[in-house]
Amino acid sequence: MGPVSIKANAVIASPGGTASVNLMKRALWVAMTVLATLVAAYTAAVLLIPGFGPPFIAVRRAAMPVALMAHLGGALVALAVGAWQMNARLRARAIGIHRWMGRTYVVGVLVGGLGALRMAVVSEQGWMTHVGFGLLAVLWLITTARAYVAIRSGNETLHRAWMIRSYSLTLAAVTLRIYLPLSLAAGIPFASAYPVISWLCWVPNIALAQWLVWRTPATISAVGAQQSHAA
């Protein structure tokens, strides 16, 4: 038995702190879902109410209405639906709903991601934001596609790992709306803050997602099984 398998067994078998860990996970899921829903509602308002939102939205609406509607519409669907895809209880009790919500999420990311790619090239404050938001859109599409391919091939463990990565990038819409007002409250000019936030809103998210993936007992077990099979 290799060290990875020993670690997996230890994590799975250890009963200590299980209740508190589950409570903390539930609280974090609730907080994530509330924030995602609020941002989705705000995005719907920007999409549907003329004149609502930051001034540059009106400019984009006039210059590239299809890209704007695709990005906002797809993103708000992915935000609202994706949080529930992270709910293990829903997945266990209503697998049919989980699957249909998953399909809806994939379509939302596809539409929103393609719109985001078009919007990235005209984002505010120059090339740094163009690259930051453009790379976010590319990785958003790739991670979601990998999650879809994994579940179509029957690999649930790999599917969940890629979905965690995908939704961490979807949540860039939330973290951006946290960092931006904080930077303005701190007195940092928008022109200085926005290029940094175009990276800060998603790089820590995907790094945390990767850390969570590698801490998941199922992922550890899958890696251990692959190594044992290879040996």
Q: What is the pLDDT of residues 116-172, one digit of tens each?
A: 999 998 888 889 999 999 999 999 999 999 999 999 999 999 999 999 999 999 999
- How high does pLDDT run on average in the chain? 86
How far apart (Å, rounded) are the C-alpha atoms in residues 163 and 144?
7
How far apart (Å, rounded) are the C-alpha atoms in residues 102 and 82?
8
How far apart (Å, rounded) are the C-alpha atoms in residues 163 and 148?
9
How far apart (Å, rounded) are the C-alpha atoms in residues 79 and 200?
18
Residue in the block written with tokens 């293990």: 88
* Number of neighbouring beta carbons within 10 Å of residue 138: 14
**Alpha-carbon distances, residue 133 vs 47, 117, 122, 200, 207 (angstroms):** 19, 8, 10, 10, 16
Please tell me the predicted confidence (pLDDT) of residue 218: 59
How far apart (Å, rounded) are the C-alpha atoms in residues 16 and 175?
32
Average pLDDT over residues 3-14: 40
pLDDT tens digits, 16-56 = 457 776 788 888 889 999 999 999 999 999 998 888 888 88
Which residues have a Cβ under 8 Å from the Cβ of 1 and sit 6 or more positions away?
A: 228
pTM: 0.82
* Number of neighbouring beta carbons within 10 Å of residue 171: 24
